[in-house]
Amino acid sequence: MSAARTARIAGSADAMDAMDAPDAPDAPDAPDAPDALDGADATDATGIAAAVGTATGRARPGRPGPTAGAHPPDPGDHGTRAAGGPRAALVGKAIPPVFVLLWSSAFIIGAIGVDAAPPLLLTFFRFALAGLLLGAFALAVRAPWPRGRRLAHVVVAGLLFQALQFGALYTALSMGLPAAVVALVQGLNPVLIALLAGRFLGERVSTRQWLGFGLGTIGVVLAVADPTHLSIPALVLAVVGLLGLSVGTVYQKRYVHDVDLRTGTAVQFLVSAPFMGLGSLLFETPHVHAWGPFVGTLAWMVLVNSIGVFMLLNLMLRQSSASRVGTLFFLTPAATAVLAWLLLDQALRPAAVAGIAIGGIGVLLANQR
């Protein structure tokens, strides 16, 4: 792509008019080329910022927005860098830490929410409302919807990414497993992703990155481990949720990383909601115990933890390898411990502070090429 054309795409004054253009038919599936994406860093400010315009439909008039088969700009394209400018670079740098903070808040909100309603019922409403809102927005802006085999891949990714992960995690929280311990289990996600990505995506992990994974794991354990609060059944469910997240991340990267963010995420929510509703009817007594906390936590889950966080995650997966994006999860247990200290008045142990520092070093090493 030429620098001039890239600049027109990123900076066109008529950008939003592209949303009114007729949807282009989905391109046929093509084999992934993970090595091309592997060159981008999860914290590459310019690359992520450039993709923000693509993900929100800021394309040249007469061309659709982020349709299936449309790959993000090359982070090394100098035209993109020139068009982005300091503001775009600042946005790109802000995405990873904002993602960590918002993802970590889900554990705090989830712990409050499962006290107000059964976990599967809470998850059903979360997915249903988020899917309807995001789907309505996608229809309003005429975003392209996945079809055929690509749609089937989106459905599978959604059942792993959404239904399996959060159904298991919220049930573990309702069984008394502390939010910090659930965050600890999910904090091991980068190692599992690295193992899966090497096998299924062909992503190469260097010795320095494996050292970063090791330090990140140590930081996770130091940050929130507390053996006095372990429940074996709840811990097993937390591990099941971890598997849903890790396998879903790799599957998303492998098969549907180039599907429109708005419609792809909406489909994942909408297909997951019926499974959660059926599970609630079969295994729970669907009843809201406290409407105030239920409504408040549900609003945060829908707008922030569902729509906002997963669009950020899918955006980063477009711009970098799955293993590098996964390293951000090393920081979520420590961030959850800090949030629990600030919002739930839980003590922040010295080991947690050490875990934050070691986990941060691990993330830096794991993101080195």
Compute the distance between CA of residue 269 and CA of residue 132 in angstroms, rounded to an integer. 8
Compute the distance between CA of residue 53 and CA of residue 40 in angstroms, rounded to an integer. 17
Compute the distance between CA of residue 335 and CA of residue 332 in angstroms, rounded to an integer. 5
Comparison of pLDDT for 298 and 323, the residue scoring more: 298
pLDDT at 143: 94
pLDDT at 253: 81
What mean pLDDT do residues 68-72 have? Answer: 39
pLDDT confidence bin for 48, thresholds 50/70/90: very low
pLDDT at 356: 67
Spacing of C-alpha 30 from chain mean position:
24
List Cβ neighbours of 324 (8 Å cut-off, separation of 6 or more).
41, 42, 366, 367
Taking the CA atoms of the chain, what radius of gyration do you get in angstroms? 20
What mean pLDDT do residues 43-48 have? Answer: 40
What mean pLDDT do residues 310-314 have? Answer: 79
Are 46 and 89 a contacting pair, CB within 8 Å? yes
Maximum average pLDDT range among 37-41, 194-198, 226-230? 194-198
pLDDT at 32: 43
Maximum average pLDDT range among 164-178, 196-210, 318-332? 164-178
Comparison of pLDDT for 55 and 290, the residue scoring more: 290
pLDDT at 119: 95
Closest CA to 159 of 241, 238, 237: 241
Compute the distance between CA of residue 118 and CA of residue 81 in angstroms, rounded to an integer. 48
Kindly report the pTM of this predicted structure. Answer: 0.67
Compute the distance between CA of residue 23 and CA of residue 150 in angstroms, rounded to an integer. 16
pLDDT tens column, 336-351:
878 878 887 766 677 7
- Is residue 68 helix, strand or coil? coil
What mean pLDDT do residues 298-309 have? Answer: 90
Tell whether the model's pLDDT for residue 145 goes beyond 90: yes
Closest CA to 34 of 155, 152, 198, 210: 198
pLDDT confidence bin for 153, thresholds 50/70/90: very high
pLDDT confidence bin for 2, thresholds 50/70/90: very low
pLDDT confidence bin for 209, thresholds 50/70/90: confident
Q: Across the chain, what does the average pLDDT equal? A: 74
pLDDT tens column, 96-140:
888 888 988 988 999 899 999 999 999 999 999 999 999 999 999
Comparison of pLDDT for 134 and 54, the residue scoring more: 134
Comparison of pLDDT for 92 and 72, the residue scoring more: 92
pLDDT tens column, 224-235:
665 555 677 888
pLDDT at 229: 56
Q: What is the percentage of the chain residues whose pLDDT exceeds 90?
A: 29
Tell whether the model's pLDDT for residue 64 goes beyond 80: no
With vertex at residue 135, the alpha carbon angle to CA 121 and CA 65, rounded to the nearest 5 degrees, is 145
